[in-house]
Structure 1
């Protein structure tokens, strides 16, 4: 068999490389990012050759800026307290995970086409992507972000105002400013 000789191995490798895609099996680094929170420029499959901020051995500035922007946005909400910062950071990391998956999908796609077996299948990363989106949605709801969460928060505020008004034991009929709509 010619595959056992060095020349045969070289021929097989050349034949395989001929049908190989431009950048097969790119590493996305999502599990490492989820564990450490860092995404090194060296492992970036998207921008390492084109990125103006590329710096060997450093963290991806785009991903870090994205996380910081989300955290700042959340912390700027009126009802978010300083003790909510860990939750805001968790949501920012979940959103960055989703963004990292989407960056990978933009290059590799969400479907794997196996030409040999003539089959289509989903990228293994799709499960991680869906889970990160689900966790981000739950974190958003916990922080009061989203239409349903905002409606729930407003109802809780209305109930507190009603309870305060009901506790007024005196004949004093003062109306708390902004709660006149409750009298309807």
Structure 2
């Protein structure tokens, strides 16, 4: 099991790697695990200050971890360059409320930064079904982090459940080193 602190730290490593490898990897800004619950509870007004120091619209990819019912991790990915908002659940369950909230958030955030209406009408917004599935009850956090890892590296998602122990050890080393 991964807790929110581990997920948040790993998300910060994705953001830092993007900054260090600017021009090589997609520009990435990872959101923390508290974002979606607050967004669903209070809307844009409840979280508009959370990104005041970053222009999300200058980024290519925005990974957004989602903790479902306090027991299962999923990953939403706002991919501005590809014009998609996708939800990745290793158990295969869709989550339209999160997708709709993220789309609405982008439109509302654009009013403040960059102060022009952001059009999502040509975005593909979907829960992705053709992705690796978890076969146990404890690897959802690893799956979610790896969905973000692969997408922020611009590589196809090709891993399987059998690689989770390797990824768990790899993530532990990266967290100890403080670098991906």
Same fold by TM-score greater than 0.5: no
TM-score, length of structure 1 as denominator length: 0.22
- Structure number with bigger Rg: 1
Name the structure where helix makes up a greater proportion of residues.
1
TM-score, length of structure 2 as denominator length: 0.22
